[in-house]
Amino acid sequence: MSSESTEVFSDGMVGNDPTTTSASAPTGEVAALVAIQSTVGALPGAREAARGLSHFGEHSLGWLAISAAGWGLARTRGDAAAQRRWIEAGVGAFGAHAASVVIKRIVRRPRPHHPAIDVGVSTPSKLSFPSSHATSTTAAAILIGRAAGLPPAALPALLVPPMLLSRLVLGVHYPTDVTAGAVIGAASAAAVVAGDKVLLGSDRCEPARFAFGRGKKSRENA
């Protein structure tokens, strides 16, 4: 008989629990979570700060608020290019979040629930891979930094590691969840930047095509 337990999860998932074995010590990613919670998570104020980050990043709402504020300031200055980039930051953050939700429903990996893990915050679903907080935060950090005119790596280096670590401190994700989320978020931001360049290229080509057309008509009428 297998030593792995079979469970029916609250969202209808049935199968072998990948994180729990009968009468065994935590191993693998579970052991990593326990280690993080017993070290970083034990620091004064760590769990409270992690909860604050969790609430701020829920459904990417905090990043949408910052993007909206940035757009408003750019609008008061009459800076059309900055307005476009702030809109792209909000769209990119929410789009990354949406992509992570779709992937979660495909992968359907249960969240950590080993008895040794202390879950420190409620979650909107029981699905774990990838971390939506990591995904939207990475996309937002890249795109908000771009909109604000900061060096490309500055804001991601400041915002992404704390958010990823907070999800581990709270015991709601495995390390591979937050790592995958960061990769997906970076890819989402890159797609937004690439799309912006394509649109800008089209806008710049249009006046040239118009001028070429007028020149051609002038030559024909000469």
Main-chain dihedrals φ then ψ at residue 19, nearest 5 degrees? -110, -5
Q: Is residue 83 part of a domain?
A: yes
- Top mean pLDDT of 13-17, 26-30, 188-192, 198-202 is at 188-192
Q: Which domain holds residue 73?
A: 46-189
Q: Identify whether 140 is part of a domain.
A: yes
- Confidence at residue 188, expressed as pLDDT on a 0 to 100 scale: 97
**Single pTM value for the model:** 0.79
* Residue 2, token pair as written in the block: 């297998």
Asked if the structure places residue 220 within a domain, the reply is: no
DSSP letters spanning the chain:
--SEEEEE-TTS-EEEEEEEETT----HHHHHHHHHHHHGGGSTTHHHHHHHHHHHHGGGHHHHHHHHHHHHHHHHHT-HHHHHHHHHHHHHHHHHHHHHHHHHHHH-PBPP--TT----S--S-SB-SS-HHHHHHHHHHHHHHHHHT--TTHHHHHHHHHHHHHHHHTTSS-HHHHHHHHHHHHHHHHHHHHHHHHHHHHHHHHHHHHHHHHHHHHHHH-
Which of left, alpha, beta for 58 (phi over 0: left; psi -120 to 50: alpha)?
beta
Q: For the segment 147-174, what is each residue's pLDDT rounded down to a tens digit? A: 999 999 999 999 999 999 999 999 999 9
Residue 74 lies in a domain: yes
pLDDT in tens, 79-118: 999 999 999 999 999 999 999 999 999 999 999 989 999 9
- Whether residue 76 is contained in a domain is answered as yes
d(C-alpha 214, C-alpha 202), whole Å: 18
Comparing 8 with 60, the larger pLDDT belongs to 60
pLDDT of residue 23: 43
pLDDT score at 217 = 52
Domain count, the chain: 1
pLDDT of residue 14: 37
As a whole number, the mean pLDDT across the chain is 85
